[in-house]
Amino acid sequence: MTEWNLPLTDNPLQNVRRPTICNTRDRRLTKQEETILFQKVQTCSVEYMYPILVLALETAMRQGEILSMQLSHVDWNTHVVTLPLTKNGTMRRVPLSHKAITMLREYHKGHTDSLAVFTVTRNAFKKTWQRLMKRCGFKDLRFHDLRHEATSRLFEKGLNVMEVASITGHKDVRMLFRYTHPRAETLAQKL
């Protein structure tokens, strides 16, 4: 109406509903894929990749949260990392599993000269991830899928909704369930 100077009084598309787009992913890592991923990352010349993968699968942290971690954020005694600013604009404290804290201690031994846990840019990490996926032969695994995998694993370990939400930082339970994809095989074993 404005650009073509049409004398319409109403928008004819005003009551037309937009189609809903279902862009949810339920991509989980299979045991075989996880084996391949960790085999290939062990032969990777980029030493930060292995600890980042471990943190992603153990904590359900986002890529940006992992890459922006500072050593001062890690409480080595209580096994908790404090994320001062997360995607939703709030602070979050994430518990670290035994595997995650052990891996961080090992990695930190050789990197005592830095304030950041990982001194890598997002772009460098993205390129390294793409090369790793190519070496693994994975076509459809995104780094963010590891957050879905970790969230699902937290539920499979028996944590309740509130516990998982406090770890992942989800404020809306509906969004948390979007990240949770229990394996039918695991549920069958519980039955």
Burial profile 51-85: b = 16 or more Cβ within 10 angstroms, e = fewer: bbbbbbbbbbbbbebbbbbeeebbeeeebebebee
pTM metric for this prediction: 0.81
Q: Which domains does the chain have, with CATH numbers?
A: 31-181 (1.10.443.10)
Active site residues per annotation: 62, 87, 144, 147, 170, 179
Average pLDDT score over the chain? 89
> Tell me, what's the pLDDT at 74?
93
Q: What are the pLDDT digits (tens) for 153-167?
A: 999 898 999 999 999
pLDDT at 110: 65
**Interval 112-116 mean pLDDT:** 73
